Each structure stands twice: as structure tokens, then as C-alpha cells.
Chains A and B, each alone.
Chain A
Amino acid sequence: MVKQLTVISGKGGTGKTTITSSFAALAENVVIADCDVDAADMHLVLHPDTFETNDFYGLKVASINKNMCVGCGNCATSCRFEAIGRYNVIDVYKCEGCAVCEYVCPVNAISMVEKKSGEYYCSHTRFGPLVHAKLGIGEEASGKLVSDVRRRASELASEAGSDMILIDGPPGTGCAVIAAITGTDLVLAVTEPTVSGIHDLERVIGVAQHFRIPVVVCINKYDINVELSHTISAYCKNNGICVVGMLPYNRIPVDAMVEGKSVMEYKENVFSSMIRSMWFEVSGRLLK
């Protein structure tokens, strides 16, 4: 059975990709999925060599045939998303593809059209196969694209007989995050000891628990505010959540990033040994 680990963080910029790419370097026989489809970063470290590109179609959008339109305005008054403006022009950013306008149009001037709203890719990397994506600007269905990325990653994992899928999740608590964690075996929430870090951690743990997925926590930059790090540890302990790692504030991740390397490949450093022990802890839980 392929095990799935999703790395998330309530707040962005806490070091998800740094940790996921390091885990990818440590793992054997793994498939990596970059599910931060809004702002995918993993490729900057993994330098993928793409062997497959797939078009992603999200929701359809309405299109009005001007020659047939009689200007009755039924579509505009029926649209709940205010996506149809004056002169019956459709605002594609507001259209949610519900097809109500198509239904109410008395002269069949409106049709729902397929719209390519992104791409997803399969690539070779030095750590194993990577599935990653690019969502078109302002596209709605990021959760659906995340699901597609995960589905393709599962297929690759079973083809290759991999025992783990490593998922770099998106920030937040909304549709993309829900799509990235549903059905996974473990969630690693990365946080930092700041007032916003704690706040977002609580919310994202809430999401994981809402979907009944086990969570462990990593506190990054713990020494920037030791007191708050203690508060986070205590919070986790009280909620039966294990803190699997505490990483110091250090410029190594940025320096490694500038060189396009994972922290594990960036000369011997304090950081890498800590990530290694965190990996043993996390993979031990996952594979047991």
C-alpha cells in the first residue's frame, strides 16, 4: 500500500518546500507531488525534466453568441455571480460556470465552452518522479487540479512500485488544502513561532482534524521567539499532537535555494542533520 504524506502550513513561507525537497532527497523510491498549484516552487529545487504534459480543464465558462442575442437580459438577472455586465458581456473572472444563463436564454444564444485552465506535468528528477502543475491566472478549480496531480502521482507510484507519495501542499485552509490532504495518511504542519504562525497552525490543524487525518508538527525558526515555540509545543502536547522537529533560524535554506539545491545537498550543515532525524520520525510513523 502506497503511503501518502502531505506537508502543509497554515501560513505561507514557513519552509514547506525546503522540508519537502529535503525529504525527497532522503526518501527512497518516492513519488513527489507539488500541490501548491497556485505558486509551485518545487521545480526550482528539483529541476524537473518533463516527459509528459497534460491539459487541465476546470469548469466551463459561458459564451454569448452576439448575433443570436436579443438583449432580453434574462441571463444577467439570473446570474448570481454578477458575471454578466452591460451589453451582455461575460466577465470570465467572475463566471463560475454554473450554466444558469445558458438555461434561461430564450433564444439559445449562450453556450458553455471548455476552457483550458492550466497544465500538469510528469517529470524525472534526481530524487524520483515529480508531478507538478501550473494553474492559469485567476482560475477557479485549484482543488480539482490538486486532485488531478494527486491522481497522476498515485498512478506513477503504483506503476513504479513506490512506497510513498510526498505531497507539498498549498497554504491556507480552503479548497486546495482540502483537496491536498483528503485521504492522505499523515499531515506534517510546518509553522513558525510568530503570533500569525500559531494562529494559522491552529486553523490548519482544525482542517486536518475535521477530515480525521493524523497531524504532526515542525516548528521552523524556533529560536526567533523561544517563548512562543514553547507555547506551540505546549499547545501541541495538550492536543495530543507530536512535535517532530524544531529547526533554527538560519540562512542555509535560502543559500541552498539560491544554488537550486535541497538543504540535504548543500554542504555539511547543522540544518541537514536535524531534518534527517525529523525524516526518521515521520517516515517511521508513516511506514509502520
Chain B
Amino acid sequence: MKIAIASGKGGTGKTTVAVNLALALGNAQLLDCDVEEPNCNLFLGFDLKKQEDVIITVPEVDSHKCSLCGKCAEFCQYNAIAKLPRSIMLFPKLCHGCGGCVLVCPENAITEKKRSIGIIEKGTNEYFNTELLQGTLNIGEPMASPVIRQLQAHIDESTVAIIDSPPGTACPVITSVAEMDYCVLVTEPTPFGLNDLILAVDVVRQLGVQFGVVINRHGIGDGKVEEYCRAEKIPILMKIPDDREIAVLYSKGIPFVEQMPLWKENFRELYRYICKFISYQGGF
């Protein structure tokens, strides 16, 4: 079972829901796919061990063989190669690692070398009975998707995997959410929250992933998010109140299910609902 936790915008409580859900279930895998800012472990404090580098390949030009024909620069769709009067200049950060330049070079002057753009780490904790996998994109690197893809290769299909997705609706989110069994969209009951929820719903509908909504900070703003969900027949899975105690625990990095046992039960109920929903293939 693979459940993604997503939201159109940041700061709505994705990480909170992902961490608390994983802890409430136990025996789960938690994957922090917000690789631009992995935050789950701030709430868990696991001892993380590096598993591997995230490697992409970048070209290397042998200047002795290069005839400066410029075919590589012409082919590259990402402007990662420029032909100068006397040399070929490479911009490794723009390179997507497609290998096209190697194919088009008539002199076989281009080879590929490996470059690390981030790392994958893993930690487990007996007390929490949870496995955390985290990807971190190096500072100054633009491409998040390869890190997310490599992180998701660690999903263990025999257990529950909770995926904390990045914010937004662009490629890193698609990479995180596509191929999941269910997606929980976390939102806030405000005009900004509604605006971003509508975008997120658009994403999951296009991907054909089943989904429901968790309203965080319930009590602030207005009732438009609930109206929207009712009109669109989107299940509201849970409402987390705008509670100062929860906010303070969050600020300190304490998952609130640890201090408020009732919520452990609520998150388990949420999971049972999702299981039932999926086994009926979305057709209650």
C-alpha cells in the first residue's frame, strides 16, 4: 500500500500528517520526497545512515578528439553545452543526463562521467517501529526528480509506504504521486488553501489516483473548502483543529500523536478508511 501526502502549496501540514500517520500505524515506511527540504526527520530524530549518492551522468569532452563541429551543442535541448570558437563549454547543472551528446558526436569525443546531485539516507527506530527514507538535493542543484525517483526505488511493496510529497504541481510532485494507491491532500480552510487545493485536485485527477482531503488548522478562515469538497464529492478524511497545543508541539518538532493518544486512533481510522476505499475501488 502506497499513500502519498500532498498539497498544492507548502506549509499546510503535509509533513505533520505524513509523520503522524506513519507513527500511528507503526511498521511502516516513511519516505520524505520533499528533497528540496526534507523535514520528516526533524520530528523523528532517527539516526540516519547514508545509503548512496544520487548520480546523474554528465558529458566530458576529449579535446584531442573533438573537431569542434558543434553537433553536441546543437542537439542538447537543455543548453548545457555551448560551442565556443576554440572549445566546447559544459554547464553540468543544466544537464539532464540524457546521453544525446554522446550519440551525436561523430568523433566519439564525448564520454560520460558521474556526478552526485544529492544523497539517500535511511534510518530505523525500534521505539517508533518505523523506517524513514530521506532524499536530500544538494544546495544549488536545480533538479529534484532524479532524487525522488531513486528514493522511491526503495519502496517495500510488502508494507505500508507513506510518501511526504513536495509542494506545488510541477514535475517533482508528479514524480512523487504518480503510481501511488491513494493520495491524501492536506489543505487549510482559507482562500489560499482552497486555490491550491483546486490545483492539487487537478493533478491527482489527471494522474488517476484516488484521493481525499485532510483539513488542517480547522477553525480559521472560512467554510469554502468544505463547500468545494461537498460539491465535488471529495471525501473529507479528517479535520485537525487550529490548536495552540498542536502548533507548539509542531514548533518543537514533537509529533502530536505521541502526546495526544486520541489522535493515534484517529490516524488509524483514516488508514482503515483508505484501505476500505481502495478495496471497493473507490465505489462506495
Which residues of chain A have a CB within 8 Å of any CB of chain B?
A: 9-14, 17, 38-39, 41, 44, 59-60, 78, 80-81, 93, 96-100, 103-104, 135, 137-140, 142-143, 170-178, 192-197, 199-200, 203, 206-207, 210-211, 224-225, 228, 249, 251, 254, 257-258, 260
Q: Is the CB of B37 within 8 A of A260?
A: no
Q: What's the nearest-Cβ distance from chain A to residue B90, in Å?
A: 16
Chain B residues whose C-beta falls within 8 Å of the C-beta of A175 in the assembled complex? 142-144
Chain A residues whose C-beta falls within 8 Å of the C-beta of B250 in the assembled complex? 194
Given A93-B174, A174-B137, the answer on whether A199 and B37 have CB atoms closer than 8 Å is yes
Does B92 sit at the interface, judged by CB under 8 A? no
Q: What's the nearest-Cβ distance from chain B to residue A144, in Å?
A: 10
Candidates A38, A197, A224, A254; contact of B169 at CB < 8 Å: A38
A254 to B250, CA, bound (A): 20
A257 to B193, CA, bound (A): 11
Does B212 sit at the interface, judged by CB under 8 A? no
Give how many B residues have a beta carbon under 8 Å from the other chain's beta carbons: 59
Given A59-B77, A251-B220, the answer on whether A99 and B192 have CB atoms closer than 8 Å is no
Q: Is the CB of A44 within 8 A of B137?
A: no
Chain B residues whose C-beta falls within 8 Å of the C-beta of A260 in the assembled complex? 191
Q: Is the CB of B170 within 8 A of A195?
A: no
Q: What's the nearest-Cβ distance from chain A to residue B181, in Å?
A: 18
Q: Is the CB of A200 within 8 A of B39?
A: yes
Q: How many A-B residue pairs have CB under 8 A?
A: 185
Q: Is the CB of A103 within 8 A of B178?
A: no
Which residues of chain B have a CB within 8 Å of any CB of chain A?
A: 8-12, 15, 34, 36-37, 39, 42-43, 75, 77-78, 96-100, 103-104, 137, 139-144, 166-174, 178, 188, 190-192, 195-196, 199, 202-203, 206-207, 220-222, 247-248, 250-253
Chain A residues whose C-beta falls within 8 Å of the C-beta of B247 in the assembled complex? 224, 249
Candidates A12, A14, A81, A193; contact of B251 at CB < 8 Å: A193
Given A38-B167, A172-B36, the answer on whether A211 and B103 have CB atoms closer than 8 Å is no
> 25 interchain pairs (CB within 8 A)?
A11-B11, A12-B11, A38-B8, A44-B192, A93-B178, A97-B77, A100-B98, A103-B103, A137-B169, A138-B170, A172-B10, A172-B167, A173-B139, A175-B142, A194-B250, A195-B251, A196-B15, A196-B39, A199-B42, A200-B37, A207-B139, A207-B140, A249-B247, A257-B190, A258-B222
The 9 closest A-B CB pairs, nearest first, are A12-B10, A13-B11, A38-B168, A98-B98, A175-B142, A195-B253, A172-B36, A138-B174, A225-B251
Chain B residues whose C-beta falls within 8 Å of the C-beta of A195 in the assembled complex? 39, 42-43, 251-253
Excluding A137-B169, A142-B171, A176-B168, 5 further A-B contacts by CB distance (< 8 Å) are: A38-B167, A78-B99, A97-B77, A199-B42, A211-B140
Q: Is the CB of B137 within 8 A of A41?
A: no
Q: Is the CB of A39 within 8 A of B167?
A: yes
Q: Is the CB of A258 within 8 A of B191?
A: yes
Q: Is the CB of A104 within 8 A of B103?
A: yes
Chain A residues whose C-beta falls within 8 Å of the C-beta of B15 in the assembled complex? 196
A144 to B11, CA, bound (A): 24
Q: Which residue of chain A lies nearest to B102 when distances are taken between CB atoms in the complex? A: A100
Q: What's the nearest-Cβ distance from chain A to residue B242, in Å?
A: 9
Q: What's the nearest-Cβ distance from chain B to residue A179, in Å?
A: 8
Candidates A39, A59, A139, A178; contact of B9 at CB < 8 Å: A39
A78 to B170, CA, bound (A): 25
